[in-house]
Structure 1
């Protein structure tokens, strides 16, 4: 694959996307207005590539690193790119400005995709001359370890732009899904939010400790969900499949859903209590080390899954 990719923003997500595309053989132009951020980004990317090599997930560090060029001038950075992955702030007005600037320097058929976690593309592209080539391609952090990408077009987005993005993500060894209609938070964060909202209520109301809540997912739901989704899970959890499961357990889930109030489980005192519980388990100065541990575990899981698919 020889596509030239532009990336706007050299923060955590922009750096991760650079790895995704470069390790797949694509040429990457990484832009940030802050030249100092670009210097830091290059070192961070090298370290991440080294970690991937040590985990057996890539063979070489220097080859993908050589495919990543950094640039603090937007016009030069976006010259000749076929696809842009925008990784700017989670702010509608900021994105509207970024997209106007991008439209002025790229070809009319260059796909402009946002990494936003929940803002619908129509909110920051309706002022453009060519909104038909704009959409969301929302990754899971870090995308070079977790391959899901939510491709979420706006009503104005062309089918050609959707198809090109889906195809590009597959060529980059990601796992794209299509969000068929615009919705705040897309699919993953709405699912994650439902679980987090219930988890916070159960913790707040004294039903479970923070540690035991995490154990419930880690040693229960998460084991199955690491290789199959919730619909396949329930399809296999009743003798005659998903309809049988619904007839058996649907009344329970309906009753539980009715019990959930409309209150806010994210209010300050609840988060403060959860923060205290988490810091007892993991002091603040251990967060970075634990994040690195998380990434190593994800690498080991990826290597295991790759071995299984090859056998």
Structure 2
């Protein structure tokens, strides 16, 4: 995790100090940004800071971050109140449980409290941004930034604007992610679950069906993914693989294999 940007480091407010909120703290602090971490249950904050340090120590042990862990940890400050976390923030990231009513209420309070120039994002895994932000003040600065889990190891982040999200908001969030050594993925149309979880869900759904129908065991499905498909997918995506898998490329692959896949 490195950055060469010499402009002033953005101030980040992380709302929710669970697994994802703490992982975001690692990402942003390792990139030189100041982080304020808030949780409605203030008793969670000491454990979150300990977890962040432990993750940073793990990353440092494998040479995956630059800089001294103690220095990075000093960039993460607990905030006792929501207002304190958002004071002067350039970007706010909501990391509450996957509950629509809870998130809508929290995001409305974030929007009312944050500076007018602060971008506001949710880490939701499934909920479309138009359902999260349609009621909030200044909704043009709001969108979903859905990370892989954990984001300090999986660098892709789905950038999901609502129809009312300003193009400048998307551009600013892309720049923020790139500065944090993350890889923004454009999701151009709202769909429940976005891209990551819809692809992951298709595999998991079929795995459940194969076990349910007695075709194979859960253990052997794990093996075929881990020792077979996973090796290939770690190097090439599905379209790249299809293009390389047949003479004539992806068009020839679709002609030969398409009818078989259509029957599945």
TM range (shorter): over 0.9
Kept in 1: contact 2:31–2:180 (CA 8 A): yes
**Structure 1, residues 212-259: CA drift from partner, whole Å, max 9, x if none?**
101111111111111221111111101111001101111110111xxx
CA distance in 1, matches of 2:154, 2:62: 15
Q: How does 1:72-151 map to 2 (within 5 A)?
A: 72-151=80-159
**Structure 1, residues 40-64: CA drift from partner, whole Å, max 9, x if none?**
1111111111111111112421121
Kept in 1: contact 2:86–2:115 (CA 8 A): no
Kept in 2: contact 1:135–1:153 (CA 8 A): yes
Q: How many residues get paired?
A: 256
**Structure 1, residues 61-88: CA drift from partner, whole Å, max 9, x if none?**
1121011111121111111111111101
Q: Is 2:253 the counterpart of 1:253?
A: no
**Which residue matches 1:270?**
none
Counterpart among 36, 40, 45 of residue 47 in structure 2 = 40
- Secondary structure of 1:104's counterpart equals helix
CA distance in 1, matches of 2:235, 2:86: 38
Q: CA deviation at 1:35?
A: 2.0
Q: CA deviation at 1:106?
A: 1.0
CA distance in 1, matches of 2:235, 2:87: 40
Backbone CA RMSD of aligned residues:
0.9
Counterpart among 177, 185, 205 of residue 197 in structure 1 = 205
Counterpart among 242, 245, 249 of residue 234 in structure 1 = 242
Post-superposition, which runs of at least 4 consecutive aligned residues in structure 1 deviate over 2 A?
A: none
CA distance in 2, matches of 1:183, 1:108: 28
- Secondary structure of 2:144's counterpart equals strand
Ranges in structure 1 where 5+ consecutive residues have no aligned partner? 257-311
With structure 2 as the length reference, what TM-score do the two structures score?
A: 0.95
Ranges in structure 2 where 5+ consecutive residues have no aligned partner? none
Q: CA deviation at 1:127?
A: 1.0
